[in-house]
Every structure is written in C-alpha cells, then in structure tokens.
Structure 1
Amino acid sequence: MPSPIPISRLLPRDIYPSLDFGICSSPLTKHSHGSTLQVPINRHHGKAASRLWSSVIHWKELRSAQPVGSGGFGSVYRVEYLGEIVALKKVKKCTKNKLASRQSFWAELNAAHLRHSNVVRVIAATTCVPDDFGDDSSIGTILMEFVGDRNLQQIIYGCPEPLEVDRWLRYSADILNGLRFLHSHSVLHLDIKPANVLISSQDICKIVDFGCSLKVDSGCEVSTVSRQLSHVGGTYTHRAPELLRGEAVSPKADIFSFGITLWQLITREQPYDGERQHVLYAVVAHNLRPSVHNNPVFETELGLLCKTLLSQCWNADGTCRPTAKELLLHLERLRSHI
C-alpha cells in the first residue's frame, strides 16, 4: 500500500502554517521526532475498536458495502472491516470550489484523535485510494464507527410516536456532553443540527460530520485564515449571527446552534419560514429567532424555563451565552420540574 500523499499536494502552506508537510494523511498531528504520522495499533487484537485512528485503510479487509446515505458531502456506506461493522464515508470533490472541499475533508479529522461516548469515533482515513476502489470525484475516504441509520432529524420529524420531555432532555444532555468534551479539546463543530446527531441502538446521541469544524488555539482564539474558512459551508438555519457577520469564531457558536436544535426537540417544528436570504438578514439585523410565542408548549412552568434557556443560547452577543457545562446544570434543573 503506498504511503498517504503529502498534504502540500492538497492545501497551500498558508492554510496550515504550523504543520510539518511530510508523509502524512492528516494535518492534525505534529511529532517532535519527525513529520511522519505514527499511529499506535494494538496488534494483539484485530478489531477496529482496539485501534487509534490510522492513516492507512486496509482495502482488502472491506466487505459487504451497503449504501446508507448520500448528499453534497459525498456518500456513506455500511461495510464490514476487520470483522466489524463500520461506516465508510467517501468525501466528494467539489469542482466549483476545490479548496473548500479539500478543507472539508481535513476538517472531518479534527476530532479523529478524540474518544467520547457522544462523538462518533474515527477509525481510519486516507487520501490514497486504489484504482479499483476510487473514482475521480472522491478526495478521500474515512472509516468511522457504525452508529446506525437513524439521526435526530428523523426522530423529530419522521417518527409518529411522541417525543416525551424526559427523552428530549436526555438527547439534549448527550449533545451537550459531546460539545463540552469537544470544546475542552479546542474543537469547534460549527454545524450542530439534528441531521448531524446520530442515534445509536442504545438510544444514545453521537455527534457526527465535522466537515465545518475548526481546531482552535488555546483560549479559543483563531487565525484570520481559520476565520475565513469557518464561513464555508454550514447550515444557515443553525448558524450563529457572529459567523454570518464574518466575526471571530468561538465555542459559543455551537451553543447558538444547540439552542436551535433544542427548540426543534421541544416543538418538532421547522425553525424558520421564508427564503434563505431573508432569514439570514433577519437573524443578523433584526434578531430573528424561532418563535416561542403563542405556543402552548412554552406556557407551562417547564416551558417558561425552557424559553429562558433558549433566549440565553440565542443571545446575539456570543460572550453572554452559557457554556456547554453550564447548560448541563440548567438541564438538571429542568428535569426537576418534570
């Protein structure tokens, strides 16, 4: 198997200026002993779950690929790999904006070195694809744990059964626990929404799809280049107003997106009506937010507390929004009112 191609073949040096451009499949890990990515592997166990993420995919070990979903990002398949069921994601090349699509692929790996029960685990990723597996439209391939084929979007809008308070509180806590962990490791997701939260067979939420994410410096200060890249992609209905204005990025952008997601969990309605550009302008210029008025859900004692919590998440000033850790404490207080 050939070595992964150098990142310098994909991205200019000014995108990731602090990196060693050696033989490396990801720009995320810098080693004092050299520029080659060293991936620890427990060779006493052949299972994918025993590995840290690898820069090599053993293509001959892939079996039984079944399509799970596709979109602008590419395609996802359910496959067997080293005796386990995993998800294979082929990241699509964007012909209109090649730089953005390449940056999206590397962003997918911003949390690859992290392990948490509420974040989908990356097993392996590479830009090297054999001829019999690849095609010209693919930038790279990522192997991840297979959580299932249900996401929170489907639970909210596609399931006939009621979404009880204790259930959406538990889902919300799962998302916040994942965000608290990511933020503690200086990773910003920047595209939190129901479609990017998978539901496991144990009914646990796991955050997925890091194509818009950023790995920020200590103290969550970002470079000018990172700020520019953070405005590529994302979902306008969940985008924080400071990102829409092109301002600095912080973990509080994820809190805004969580607030929209929480509102969807509570109401099971779409956050906005109207055309995209009108919504974008109104969110920034007129403080437009999903409606909490004339809705009986928000007229109970619990609903009034939820309304206050949402207003904090949606604050136009990001510095005034609570942290994920603080929101978890608020959820505990809400639970006491069930």
Structure 2
Amino acid sequence: MKKQILHYRILEKLGEGGGGAVYKAEDTKLHRTVVIKTLAEDLIHNVSGRQRFLREARLASALDHPNICTVYEINEAEGQCFIVMQYVEGKTLKEILAKGPLDLHSALTIAIQLADALAVAHERGIIHRDMKTSNIIITPEGQCKILDFGLAKHFEEGTVPSDDLTVEGALLGTPSYMSPEQARGERLDYRTDIFSLGIILYEMITGERPFKGRSRIEILQAVISSEPPPMNLYNPQVSPQLQRIVDRALAKDPDQRYKSMRDMLAELKQVARQHFYETGTIPGEVSAALEPPRHVDRSWFSGRSLLKKVVGRLRRRPAWENGVSSQPSERSISSWTMKERKTLAILPFRNLSGDPEADFYGLSLADGIITELAKLQSLIVTPSSYVAKYHNREVDPQRAGRELAVEAVLVGSYLRVGTRFRATAQLVDITTNEILWSDKIDVDHKDIISLQDDIVRHIVEGLKIKISQSEQERLTRPLTSSAEAYEYALRGKHLLIKSTYQSYRKEDLDAAVQMFKEAIKLDPQFAYAYAGLGRCYTNYVIRGIGGVSYYELAEEVFDRALRLDETLVDPRIFRLYIYLFKGEKQRAREELKDLLHRAPNDATVHSVAANLYRWDGLYEYALREYNIRIKLFPVAAPEGYSGRGRIFTYRGEYDRAIAEFKKGLAIEPEHAGLRSFLAKALYHKGDIDDAIRLLEDTLALNPNIQYTRLFLAMCLARKGESERARAFIDDRFLNVAEADGDCALGLGALYALLGETRQAIAWIRRAIHIGNENYPWYERNPDLESLRSEPDFVELMNDLRARWMRLKAEMEGMGHSQPSRNQSALSI
C-alpha cells in the first residue's frame, strides 16, 4: 500500500487477511482518523470476492446506529478498491475475553448493545452472518461497535435469503460462532444472528466457547449436534432466567429460537434490571452501564480444572426436547397471584372495523380501565403513557409484557357495527402464556360503560386481587349516567394521549378540550371529564404553547373533579405543580403527603416526590424516591437514572452522574432526556465540545425539547458564541421557563453567562418563587459565579439558605431520618 491514496495518508497497517488489508489513516481534508479496508489484489478481478467486498460497504453504510461502525466512503483509485470507515479506539471483545470471563453487569450491557444494533439491522432487512468476538470493538468507555459486514446479506421480509456462503468448496464464516443451519450450508435468515449472539453471550459469561473441537470439522459437528454445559457450572451467579435466554438463542431448530432480535433484547433488558436490583447496582452503589468491561471475581474458579472435567462429561437436553415449553416459566400462576402486589399492563384495544371514526376507542378505553384499576392498593398498573406506543399494532402479549416488565397483560380488540359494539379481551399471564380470562362482550354502543366495568371486574377476579370494601364501592360507582357524555370523554382522552405522546399537535389538544367540554355539558357531575380537561390545560403550559393563565383554568376544573371523586390521582399530581407555580410550596408539600398516602403504588407519585425533594435540596430523600420509582416500575428505569444523575451533578460528582446517565442510555439509547442531562454533566466537567455534539445530535431528532435547547445555548455562551446562544431564547422557551423551575434557573444561568446580570437575577428569583429552592446547587453552580458579589443575589441566597436549614430541621424533627447514601429501594 502506498503512503497516500487520494486524500488519505496511511499511518500504519492494523491487520491483514485473505480478503485484504486494514490500515489506520488520516483524512487530510476533514482532519480525522479513519480506517481503510482494501480488497486483496488477487480478489480485485474476482467477481464474487469483489461483490462481497462492495456489498459489505453498501449494507453497513445503510445502517445508522451507535453500535455499528460507520462507513464513510466506498471508492476505487490507483488500482485499489477500498472502504473508508470510522476509526474506533478500543479492543476487540476477543482480546478482552482472552483475560477471562466478564462479570454479569458487563456481559449484559454488552449483549444489550449488540442485540439493539442487530435488531435495527434486521428491521432493515440485513443479517450479519459473521458475528464473533473479533468483529466487536469495545471502546474505553464501554461502547460496542460491530465491525465487518463482509458476509452480510439483504433479505426482503417474509423471504429466505439465498445461500452464497460457499466459495470454491469452502464454507465462509467462523465455525465456533456459526448456527447449525449455517454449518450445514443451508439458507439463512435473521435467526442465525440470534444463535451467534447466544454463543457470544455464553462466552462472555463463562469464558468458554460452547462448541469446541480439535479441528474445523469437529467444531462444526458440535455446533450441529452437541449441547453446551449449563453456564452455572462455570459461573454460579447465572440466574435461571439468563440460562433460559441463552438456551433459547442456542436452539438447534431456528423455529425454537426467538421470533425476532427485539424479543431477545426485551428479555435481556428484563434480566439486566433484575440482576441490578439483586446486586444493589440499581439503585444502590453507582456503576456505569457503559464502562470498561470488568472481569469476574475469579475466587470461585479455584477448582476450575476439576470443573472442566465435570463439564466435559455433561450434556443437557434443552427444555423443548423434554416436552417442556421453551417459553420462560419461572413461576406458576398461583405463585405470582398470591404476591402482595401484582403488576399489570392494559394495552390499547385494536380496531378491527377499519373505520377511522371508531379509532378513538382503542387508547381511551384502555385508559379508562387503567384509571379505575390504579385506585387499587394491591395492584401496580402501567400508565397510559407507556402503552400508547402499542396503539393499532398487532402485539404478542408476552413480548409486550416483558418490554413493560409486568406479570400480566390485557389485550383486546373491538368492532363497531351500526349500534352494536363487540369487544374481545384476554388476560394473559406473561410467565406461562396462559390465559387467565377471556371473553367476547357484545353491547349497544351506548352501554360501553358497562363493558369497561365488566372488564375491570374480570381482571380483579382473574388476578385474585383482594380489595377492601371501600375499593369495591369505588369500582362499582358509575362514572357517568350519560352514555353520550362518556363517548365524548373517550374521544377527548384519545386526542389528549395522541397530542401528548404521538402527534404533538396543538390542534389535537384543542380538539380534546372541546370533547371534554361537550362531555361536561351533558353531565356536569362527570369527574373523569373534568380531570381530562384539566390535564389539557396543564399541557398548554408545560409544552409552552399557551400562557400561564391556563394553570388557573386547570386548577378550577381539578378542584371540581376532586369534589366529585376524591380518589382521582392525576388531578392531585398536576394541582401540586400549579401550587408550585403560584409560589405555594408548603401547600404543594401537603398535597404530596396526601398523594403518597392515597397512591403508594403509583410510580408517578414517587417521581413527583423525588422532584420536589430535589427542588428542596434534600438529595438523599430524592434518591430514595427515585429508587422506589424504579422498584415499582422497572420499565421506567431510565427516568430513574436521569433523576439520580441530576442529583450527582448537583453534588459536583460528575463521573457518578455520567455513569447514571449512561446506564439509562444502555437501555434506551435515544432517550432525549438522558442524552441532554448527560451533555450537561459533560459540560460541567469541562468536556464542552463533546456536550455540544451530543446536544446537536439530540436536537436533530427532537427539535422542540426546550431544556435541550437551553443546555446547547449554555455551551455556546460558555464558548463565547453569545449571539448563537441568544438565538435560542424565543417566546416558546420563555413560556416554558415561566412555569418550570428548572428551566427558569437554567435561563438565569444562561443570562449570567451572557453577562446580563439583571435578567439573570430576575429569572433566578422566578425559579425560587415557583418552587426551585435547591440551595446547595445555587451555591455550587459554577454558571452563577458572576452573580455572587451582587447584593440582590446575596440577599436571595441568604434567605434561601435560612429556609433550607429550617426545612432540614423540620424533616428531622418529624422523624424523617436521613436515608443512607447507599440505601437501596430493596431495603425500603
């Protein structure tokens, strides 16, 4: 290879194989380090070899994912055919495993990243077909990058890719990581990657490859016919759930494997959450999900030579060969139905009629059932915000249940024909896939209220939920006497959910207001409709698309809703924020105390509690509430990490904060909140350029998130780009900051960075007035340094410190002991 090809200066050779060579190079135009992969000279004129080489580049370039190596260019010059790729600093997973197996935390977080990347590839019709540890780079920060799509193949959904994995009688691929069908030279689909990922996961956990032999032929024979030893013979920390995942991935019959990589990913996430809880990693001691891989404590490997002899003689039969279901089955129905608290998700009902006019029932009927069941102390119900994504999708109940980390799921469909409304509903146990209850209900469309009541009653019976007399009375109390009013309310709820979680359109929110008003006009005693209308009004303020006067309207209708039905939770939650907006912090605290008593199982209530403690500067109390939220509602763990990361940012413990944010991003890589607050921690740590890149990427996908825009403006101001920073301060942002204590403080800090002292102090005063009394952060926040000698700011801080000290004393005097820094939700 010459020292220069086009505008790429060759720095060093990284490796060479039969297919070509790989070089580290400098892109002299863009001043970045790249990798150049060249095609071997004897293959340049070989049609099949050249086709494979170019196919790798085309397929990899079609994938945009943080865990797939980026292809920059495909080119030919000076007799060379080459690919220019992202240069990734790090070690291959093969090199890392040469030092021994990984601990479960590292193995699971790597497996989740790989599964997410492959799921995206599969959904674009691309299978890798050569997944192995030498094709995976781990960066110093712990991020995975999949390399080498040289054997990748594109396939259309519903078809089987043609076989082209043989060249001149040789089978292409790496025997130790092949699937049985690949080893036999058969046609392949995405399930071959599932098998290969199962091998990689097995190797990460045990330090051993599951299929071995003294020759290529022996290895291929083992892949086809042998069963690997149980992982817990190598690593006693392996749970039955994790063993089942690997067993299913390594099924010899592709039909016995996961239906998709997404299904495997969902189960990996569930096992990861459970492992973190049991080890105290979440939410106890902080440990980054994205971090340099850690090897296992080798103390339990002391008898390894004997272990190897035992393992070598053991061969298992998988569950499906023993006549046992291949589905995870940790518990029987009776065991989990006797638990103190059951977990349940109500999925949106599917519209089978094809009539768009009847579409509103899907989300709103589910939300109505959720609202009723959420009143029960012994049941934890997934909020509507987390099930809305399943609207009008054909969903496998088990897959959805695992994604939502619940034990039972209600799925249903409906058909409206003339005046008749026919609904089918099934209550499914996620662990056994057994149907606990199923029914077809046919009612007049004016009698949908009774349909909802029937479903609620059957869920309570099917889950064997014990309810008190007062809960029974609340469940049997009619929501409204007007069927027409109920239909308007359902339409309003559908539009509200659509506007909040799907379309984000103001027009949908406006229409929802009108629907709820029509419902109230028909039944002035309809509490559910008042609650929905109040929620609409608060959305105008929260999203910055209406003035703060909407809070006054919201408070009025929330008060009315609670006079009619004091058991409603949503109105109390949002009324609390209205109290904060009005500067009535003590009243907000009293509302919170009442909420925690009324709805101890509601994860949103604990999130509100955590945020209120955070604004009070009571960090240990806030951490405890975030921990409880994670325990109650594992699927929302990323939000819990976000809250914890913010606390550590306030403390100046930026590495701990970054670790928390990265833990969440390992589960939800595109989570805008986590990405934005991670950028803020990087900013405070001094990594401003990295923060800017992350914020710009986040805004490209989520252009209307105000705190992301704020953080980017702060970064620009810190770099001296004042005019660019000021351009972010528009009317919509000012509307949000007027009602949001975090944004108000952030805006004050931005003005301080811009040297506009009067504006800075005005917005800080506003932040304190609407509840953000986080005194330790005001004192520590480096963006406020220019204000510390200003008399008005000094007076504000002195007053705030006195209130903070009184509050701490009051908490201790009321018997609220300071939680331990390492206290876990498991101990609460």
- TM-score using structure 1 length: 0.71
Partner residue, 2:727: none
Q: 2:150 aligns with which of 211, 236, 239?
A: 211
Partner of 1:202: 141
For residue 87 of structure 1, what is the aligned residue in structure 2? 35
Q: 1:196 to 1:70 in 2, by over 3 A?
A: same
Q: Please report how far the alpha carbon of residue 100 of structure 1 lies from its aligned counterpart in structure 2 after TM superposition.
A: 4.0
Q: 1:237 to 1:100 in 2, by over 3 A?
A: farther
AA at the equivalent of 2:270: R
Q: Is the 2:73–2:84 contact (alpha carbons within 8 Å) kept by the matching residues of 1?
A: yes
Change (3 A) 1:99 1:278: farther
**Which residue number in structure 1 is paired with residue 262 of structure 2?**
325
Distance in 2 of aligned mates of 1:250 and 1:169: 24
- Determine what percentage of the aligned residue pairs are the same residue: 27
Q: Structure 2 residue aligned with 1:174, among 113, 121, 124?
A: 113
Match in the other structure for 1:189: 128
- CA change 1:226–1:64 in 2 (3 A) is closer
Q: Is 2:251 aligned against 1:315?
A: yes
Structure 2 counterpart of 1:280, from 216, 220, 223: 220
* Contact map agreement 2:114 2:146 (CA 8 A) in 1: yes
Counterpart residue number, 2:24: 78
User: CA separation of 1:155/1:282 partners in 2, compared to 1, >3 Å: closer, same or farther?
Assistant: closer
Is residue 62 of structure 1 aligned with residue 8 of structure 2? Answer: yes
8 Å contact kept, 2:6–2:77: no
- TM alignment of 1:96-175, pairs within 5 A: 98-109=46-57, 110-126=59-75, 128-130=76-78, 134=80, 140-157=81-98, 159=99, 163-175=102-114
1:83-123 deviation line (CA, Å, top 9, x unaligned): 1111111122456x934422320231222122110111100
The 1:63/1:228 distance shift into structure 2, 3 A limit, reads closer
Instruction: Supply the AA of the counterpart residue of 2:202.
Output: W
Contact 2:231-2:243 at 8 Å conserved across structures: no
State the alpha-carbon separation in 2 of the partners of residues 177 and 116 from structure 1: 9
* Whole-angstrom distance in 2 between the partners of 1:333 and 1:73: 40
Instruction: Report the Cα offset of residue 320 of structure 1.
Output: 1.9
SS in 1 for 2:77: coil
Task: Count the aligned residue pairs.
Answer: 265
Unaligned runs of 5+ in 2: 277-828
Quote the offset at 1:330 in angstroms.
Answer: 1.3
Do 1:100 and 1:232's aligned partners in 2 also have CA atoms closer than 8 Å?
no
Tell me how far 1:283 sits from its aligned partner. 2.6
Higher relative contact order, chain-length normalized (CA < 8 Å, sep 6+):
1
Structure 1's 164 and 108: CA in aligned 2 closer, same or farther, altered over 3 A? same
Question: Letter of the aligned partner of 1:280 in structure 2?
Answer: L
Q: Distance in 1 between matches of 2:6 and 2:165?
A: 40
Check if 1:291 corresponds to 2:229: yes
Q: Select between 203-212 and 58-67 the one with higher mean Cα deviation.
A: 58-67
Residues of 2 paired with 1:295 and 1:218: CA distance? 39
- Matched-pair contact (CA < 8 Å) for 1:174–1:205: yes
Structure 1's unaligned 5+ residue stretches are 1-57, 135-139
Question: What TM-score results when the alignment is normalised by the length of structure 2?
Answer: 0.30
> Does the 8 Å CA contact 2:112/2:269 hold for their aligned counterparts?
no
The 3-state SS of whatever aligns with 1:211 is: coil
Q: 1 CA distance for matches of 2:257 and 2:26?
A: 43
Checking the alignment, whether the CA contact within 8 Å between 1:152 and 1:198 is kept in structure 2 is yes
C-alpha distance in 1 between matches for 2:179 and 2:203: 16
Aligned residue for 2:553?
none
The C-alpha deviation readout for 1:296-322, integer Å capped at 9, x for no partner, is 41x44x333222111101111112211
1:35 matched residue in structure 2? none
Do the aligned residues in 2 keep the contact of 1:147 with 1:201 (CA within 8 Å)? no
Return the alpha-carbon distance in structure 2 between the equivalents of residues 239 and 73 of structure 1.
19
Q: Give the C-alpha shift of residue 262 in structure 1.
A: 0.6
Q: Match of 2:19, as an amino acid?
A: F
Alpha-carbon distance in structure 2 between the residues aligned to 1:269 and 1:218: 34
Match of 1:304 in 2: 240
Runs of 4+ in 1 over 3 A off after TM superposition: 97-100, 225-229
Identify the residue that residue 185 of structure 2 maps to in structure 1: 246
SS of the residue aligned with 1:69?
strand
Q: Return the alpha-carbon distance in structure 2 between the equivalents of residues 232 and 188 of structure 1.
A: 17
What is the Cα deviation at residue 148 of structure 1? 1.9
**2:92 corresponds to which letter in structure 1?**
N
Q: 1:293 to 1:199 in 2, by over 3 A?
A: closer
Q: CA deviation at 1:252?
A: 0.2
Give the 3-state SS of the residue equivalent to 1:255 in structure 2: helix
CA distance in 1, matches of 2:151, 2:90: 21
RMSD: 2.6
How far, CA to CA, are the matches of 2:232 and 2:119 in structure 1? 33
- How many Å apart are 1:219 and its aligned residue? 2.3
**Distance in 1 separating the partners of 2:84 and 2:12:** 14
Contact 2:69 2:147 in 1 (8 A): yes
Q: C-alpha separation between the residues in 1 aligned to 2:134 and 2:121? A: 18
Question: 2:42 & 2:194 partners in 1: Cα distance?
Answer: 29
Quickly say closer, same or farther: Cα 1:307–1:94, change in 2 above 3 A: farther
Cα distance in 2 between the residues matched to 1:313 and 1:266: 15
Secondary structure class of the residue paired with 1:144:
strand
| Amino acid aligned to 1:247 | E
Greater C-alpha Rg: 2
What amino acid sits opposite 2:267 in the alignment?
H
Equivalent residue for 1:7?
Answer: none
1:263 to partner: Cα distance: 0.7
One-letter identity of the residue aligned with 2:253: D
Once residues 293 and 76 of structure 1 are traced to their aligned partners in structure 2, the CA distance between those partners, rounded to angstroms, is: 36
Tell me how far 1:246 sits from its aligned partner.
2.8
